Amino acid sequence: MLYPYLILATIVLLLAGLLFLRRQAAPVEVIELETKKSSKKKDPLPPEVRANKIYYRSILHKKKSRKIYSLAKHRIKTTRELNTAQKDFLYQELKRFPLPSGAAMQLAEMLRDPYVDSRKVAALASTDPIISGRLLALVNSAYFRPTSGKKIHSIHRAILYLGFNQVRNLLFQLMLEQAVSKHSPLSQEEIRKIWLHSAAVSVAAGEIAKKFEDHPGLVLTAGLMHDVGKFFLPYFENSEELGGFSLNDAEEEPPPLILEEQKTGFNHAVIGAVLCYIWQIPEEISQTVSLHHFGDFARLKKLHPKMQHVITTVAAADYICHLLGYGEEEPYLYEIPKEALEACGFPSYPEFLITPALEKEVERMVKLLEEYTTA
């Protein structure tokens, strides 16, 4: 007599488990990894995933512990949604926080020219002891250590060894560190967490670009800059000038980005985009900062395909770093539309952009930065 009840109980448990998975993670990925006929499906597994299912099962297991939010139905603020008064207010507030002038700014401008004489770059870098010290520390670190094992003592050799892209990334980081440490109201621990996440996203974006044979220079810098608005977000909490700006109806658990808008009237992407304008950062980076949480691919369709690719690459790198645990807040993920991923030639699931090599490179860079921030 107990047999039918056991069958019924088993069915109920299975249904409950499926509902739980449906709420906590996307079950399609798990099903595809387990299905022997997945290669015949409309969306077959990439060859590297089929060849290393144990690794990707562990990645998908991590996803189960993450909250997943969709931004597709939200009217995410961009600078286009701001009225004149709001733009003026934001600009006036943020122009109080300029990037420091000096050798780092001059070098960053100089390195925009890929044909610039490296000896001129080295000569200017040598005039600033902070830049010189950071370049030599970086090139001789465990992350970049020359294969010969011999230390590099020449600034010129360090620049040639690291490459212009990495040096320019370092300069942006130095400038931002100085601006943030001087002006951000956040605690040192909060600043450190955002830096580590931003560095991780920069490396992940660069690895994705290299995998798809794209030049990594732009996405490296865009990845480093993508969350710069978070450093200054607290300035706008409880501001009287922002009344009536929230456009989204309240919901039980809105995404963190929408909570930012409800609390401050803006979000970190809007603040970051205005900072990029004030700091005269190249437009490609500014657009990526503004739109890296685009939610709906329709928001990108009017942009040039190259910009769509850069923004989606940084969004995917941000997703990956939150999934791997390199996020500055509690673990969560923002869904990336499959249409955006497919337009870039990426797999339909951003988890499949992760490789053991990418994970290793991100871990190495984070450990390197932890040495600096804890020293």
Q: Between residues 6 and 191, which one has the greater pLDDT?
A: 191
Q: Which two tokens stand for residue 5?
A: 């009840």
Q: Which two tokens stand for residue 23?
A: 């709420």
Residue 319 — very low, low, confident or very high, per pLDDT cuts 50/70/90? very high
On average, the pLDDT of the chain sits at: 82
Residue 358 — very low, low, confident or very high, per pLDDT cuts 50/70/90? very high
- Asked, for residue 13, whether it belongs to a domain, the answer is no
For helices 129-139 and 118-125, give the axis angle rounded to 10 degrees.
120
Segment 240-259 mean pLDDT = 61
Q: Supply the range of the domain harboring residue 87.
A: 69-97+186-374
- pLDDT given for residue 247 in this prediction: 39
Tokens 């949604």 — which residue? 81
302 alpha carbon, distance to own chain's centre: 22
Q: Between residues 7 and 363, which one has the greater pLDDT?
A: 363
- Asked, for residue 285, whether it belongs to a domain, the answer is yes
Give tens-digit pLDDT for 159-186. 999 888 888 888 888 888 888 888 899 9
DSSP 151: P
- Asked, for residue 287, whether it belongs to a domain, the answer is yes
Total number of domains in the chain: 1
> What span, in angstroms and rounded, lies between the C-alpha atoms of 223 and 365?
13
Decide if pLDDT at 23 tops 70: no
- Asked, for residue 121, whether it belongs to a domain, the answer is no
- Asked, for residue 233, whether it belongs to a domain, the answer is yes
Contacts made by residues 121-128, CB under 8 angstroms, sequence distance 24+: 121/159, 121/164, 121/167, 122/154, 122/155, 122/156, 122/159, 125/155, 125/159, 125/167, 126/155, 127/103, 128/102, 128/103, 128/104
CATH of the domain at 91: 1.10.3210.10
Residue 7 — very low, low, confident or very high, per pLDDT cuts 50/70/90? very low
- pLDDT given for residue 256 in this prediction: 93
Q: What is the 3-state secondary structure (H, E, C) of 286-337?
A: HHHHHHCCCCCHHHCCCCCHHHHHHHHHHHHHHHHHHHHCCCCCCCEEECCC
- Asked, for residue 211, whether it belongs to a domain, the answer is yes
What's the whole-model pTM score?
Answer: 0.80
Where is average pLDDT lowest: 21-25, 149-153, 155-159, 292-296? 21-25
Residue 359 — very low, low, confident or very high, per pLDDT cuts 50/70/90? very high
- Asked, for residue 110, whether it belongs to a domain, the answer is no
- Asked, for residue 119, whether it belongs to a domain, the answer is no
- pLDDT given for residue 104 in this prediction: 86
- pLDDT given for residue 111 in this prediction: 85
> What span, in angstroms and rounded, lies between the C-alpha atoms of 11 and 152?
65
